[in-house]
Structure 1
Amino acid sequence: MKYTQQGIAITGCGSATPKQILSNEDLSQMVDTSDEWIKTRTGISTRHLASLDNSLSQLGAKAASQALSMAGLEASEIDLIVLATSTADDLFGSACQIQSLLGASRAVAFDLTAACSGFVFGLITVAQFIRMGVYRNVLLIGGDILSRWVDWSDRNSCVLFGDGAGAVVCQATESRDGLLGFEMCSDGNYNSFLNLAYQPQSKSLVHEVSIAQGGYEFITMNGREVYRFAVAKVPEVIEKALYRAELGTDDVDWLILHQANQRIMDAVASRLNIPDEKVISNVANYGNTSAASIPLALNEAVRNGKIQPGNIIAISGFGAGLTWGAAIFQWGN
């Protein structure tokens, strides 16, 4: 196969969240907490939660449909679908289910797992397929249903998480490359700070042959260490991505961080000397939606007119793994 060099343009976005909303007042009836305690420490007021009738595939397909409509594309024109998620409906992956729901019969589809960094890692991944000339029209979806894996009796973690999906359409362009710079990092030495571990139990099959079968535990998190990690590493990775883009923080029109905690976002923006009015935040309404959080915030900001074509946007994801990364891109054609 002969490859041709081309650039990437992000031409459409969309999002979807479940109808159910759990407020801080609701949580105070479940665990020893209060609206004031949650808001002060996280900035979160409400979160959307998937019911038994909701699936990640349905949320992802709805977000993708909105993104396709904005980009002016039909599902049949999509070449590749990448789903960034840690909570697929099927352990083998849900991207193919989304492909079927959309009717994107030409598209290759696969899942990518990098937890809360998933959307950033996914954007960087799909850009390489486009830049090499392999695919022209790509759907990137970030989505998670973390409520499936939350310990709802743990007041330190259950207040944080919500469910949702966001999507963008990335298209090939010969005029320019909209992905201006990026950086990705991982460090498994800090895996214990935030994980969702498999808990095996020994099952004997025949003499001297046994296997490990079991299930996954609830999400566990060392909030203090995650905060320290994010505040130290996220500004650094954004600065590296800006350096690769030959840009400075003054060139950034909008900063969209993984919507984990308002205190983290405030601290990162302060360290980068990016003013509050340039920071996109919707964590108050959705909580931490993992791989969905950045595209959810992006979609809202585009549709309410904040983000305009040509704006330079810095995004950064950080979370379990531990993984973290940043990308600098220009919105629109």
Structure 2
Amino acid sequence: MAVGKITFTKTEREKLAEVLWLLNWISVVTGAILFGLGLFLKIEIQKWQEVMSEQGILYVPHMLITTGLAACGINYLGSKICLDCADTNKFLRWKLVMIPYIVCTFFFTACVLVGALMCYSIRSQLEEALYLGLRNTMRFYKDTDTPGRCYLKKTLDLLQIQFQCCGNTDYRDWFQIQWISSRYLDMTNSAVVDRVRSNVEGKYLMDSVPFSCCSTLSSRPCIQHNLSNPRAHAHYDERSQQLNLWRRGCQQALLDHYTGIMQSIGLTVLLIWLFELLVLTGVRYLQTAMENVIRLGDPESESEGWILENSLAETACYNFSIIKSLGKCYQVDDDPNINVPTAAADQEVPSAQVQVNVTS
């Protein structure tokens, strides 16, 4: 029994072809939107790629860009096919192309769905990449004279100012690394030497943060140094949250930023997938309805269209039997015709015996 069977008149088939022609042109626009979203996401990720440990997450924008370009090409071809399918004679030109076109459209539609799901499933990978990347960037903050790292200080300062964040998880992360370059340390100062020697790794650690951690919303001058010593500043109480530093870590700030972008793109791509699924369903109905008209031989008659000619179970069994029969083609040892004499061989044996008797 066919799945989703609908009967179409000639007028309804023509209307369906015209509507699908329009929908395919709209799909070309949605393909351009997919391409634009992928390009926008790629640019946004590359803005702060220096603070990410890996670039593997770029597969999401690359997926959207590729799918968008494929959508423009496939739907442009689909608009031409659907417009010609309104006429029986023109449909014959595309009859052999319809099934491959529908199969390609099906896989393209599946790729759109995969792209939408990727936008929602990338959060955990992005969170880990930001944590490791920011940790390494903070370690190289002081290396302003090292080639390949000299720009990281500027990048991290801009990040903390723009996103109003400090450190990886919070401002205390700066206490665990040496973020001041050794060339700016006065090694003749006994206090500096004692602080360096007191650390096992010989690092100059202190309870201070870079200037970019200072909050612009605070009414008092910025407190950057001696943050663990409440006696070093007047009217200073860390427990009452009076520190004039950004309280949020940059990992969370960037994660929230990218999560919002991903969710918006994912919702848009999901809506595009539903629209493409509608177009694919309409093309399938048009293709089956036109093929049934050709079988009937009367272009003016009604015809039936469907999504699947048989039920899902019957279609699955049929396809499985095809695959199974293809596999048997390579099993020569199991061929039942091997070692079975043919009719031609049966005729050749008596003739050979007659020749032997004559010569004898």
TM-score range, shorter chain: under 0.3
Normalised TM-score (structure 1): 0.24
Q: Which protein has the bigger helix share?
A: 2
Higher Cα Rg, which structure: 2
Q: Which protein has the bigger strand share?
A: 1
Normalised TM-score (structure 2): 0.22
